[in-house]
Structure 1
Amino acid sequence: MDAQSLRGGRRRDCLRAAAAMAMLGPLAWRDAAAGAQAEEPLADAVRTALSASIANSAPPKPGFTRIEDRLAYLRWLGAMSDKLKPRKAERQTRIEFLETLWYESKRASLQPELVLGLVQVESGFRKYAISSAGARGYMQVMPFWARLIGDGDVSRLFHMQTNLRFGCVILRHYLEREQGDLYMALGRYNGSRGRPEYPNAVLGARKQWLLSA
């Protein structure tokens, strides 16, 4: 894709996001639960690694070498689609969201059910949600991340796969900073490190998305 086409595509994305926000009005702000995630200085090596993780694009279509794994994935997709239906009524939209979330979760070595719980708490599964702190989209990504490890285009945080990729990469980064302590990593993601409310909310929401729940 040439530079002119890329700029045109980004402009269309921006216009679509603006139109959607105009239609949603004040509802776009309701119940967006992101805290004031802190902008912290990143070592050059960390910034480079995170930027590479964001930029490494691939379609959210999983590949399986074993038929058992594919069948397990299809069972997961069907079960999650049924659970998500009250929040996303249109089937194709729902399936595309779940396929992308599963792909980006696995890509970041995260449990998809954990990411579903986080999205539920952060945005209530609303693509154009904005918090009072300015965090955007499904995983309520703060705009400064677009500058730190992205291309600086904040409007792209309303793009489904871009938002899920940023959110999953950021949570993985915080998990590594907290040496695998999920409780502390979730607190850092929300900007409330050390406080129980947010981690407990996400972990509680995760239970609703487990296949046995």
Structure 2
Amino acid sequence: MWRLILLLLLWPALALAGGQREEPLSASVRAVMQKSVSDTAAPRLMFKSETEAYAWLTEMSHRLQTRIPDKEFRLSFLKTVHYEATRAGLDPQLVLGLIQVESGFGKYAVSSVGARGFMQVMPFWVNQIGTPEQNLFHLRINLRYGCTILRYYLDIEKGDLYRALGRYNGSLGQAEYPNMVVGAWRRYWAYRAL
């Protein structure tokens, strides 16, 4: 009984991420990924106009309000998601769907296999492409890594989103995880610009 109570108390902090598999990277891929995660440019919204940016932020903030109640943090989170996703050539709404499935928007979520933060990044990535002082619970670092890794998987899977998501989760060849991410993306985060 006490184990069930402990599990229920810890449930929000536990994530259901699978285990990304550590694979050797070629020197050129490692260099590109290292450059990507080491960039220190400040996040900024990347829209055609301020009106478009305001509309997106307002809509996404409203949708995220129950999951991240603190308005200031929620807006910072959304700006960072939008910047990092766009920078990596990803749809920001897809990234929101992935975060929903991976961590339930838990900044300090840790999976049973050790993946960390919003995007459930495995610690081996810091050794492969980062530096020891990079904290995977830091908002920007976590999103930077997660978007860089998903972009890498999309590239090696030649744009096949389902296979890339399977790699991201460590469940390549299984439909459940990619279907959950795409479902969350379409059901909760799909957005059409003005």
TM-score calculated relative to the size of structure 2: 0.90
Q: Which residue of 2 aligns with 1:183?
A: 162
Q: Which residue of 2 aligns with 1:57?
A: 40
1:119 paired residue among 92, 99, 104: 99
Q: Quick one: percent identity of the two aligned structures?
A: 51
Q: CA deviation at 1:70?
A: 2.4
Q: Which residue of 1 aligns with 2:16?
A: 33
Please state if 1:162 is matched with 2:141: yes
Q: Which residue of 2 aligns with 1:211?
A: 191
Higher helix share: 1
Cα deviation code 1:59-93 (max 9, x no counterpart): 112366x5xx3211210100000000000111101
Cα distance between partner residues in 2 of 1:149 and 1:33: 24
Q: Which residue of 1 aligns with 2:4?
A: none
Q: CA deviation at 1:209?
A: 0.7
Q: Partner amino acid for 1:123?
A: S
Please state if 1:142 is matched with 2:122: yes
Q: Which residue of 2 aligns with 1:14?
A: none
Where does structure 1 lack aligned partners over 5 or more consecutive residues? 1-24
Q: Partner amino acid for 1:200?
A: N
Q: Which residue of 1 aligns with 2:68?
A: 88
Q: Which residue of 2 aligns with 1:45?
A: 28
Where does structure 2 lack aligned partners over 5 or more consecutive residues? 1-8
Q: Which residue of 2 aligns with 1:10?
A: none
Q: Partner amino acid for 1:62?
A: L
Q: CA deviation at 1:211?
A: 2.5
Aligned residues: 183
RMSD: 1.4
Q: CA deviation at 1:40?
A: 0.1
Q: Partner amino acid for 1:50?
A: M
Q: CA deviation at 1:144?
A: 0.1
Following TM superposition, where does structure 1 have runs of at least 4 consecutive aligned residues deviating by more than 2 angstroms? 25-30
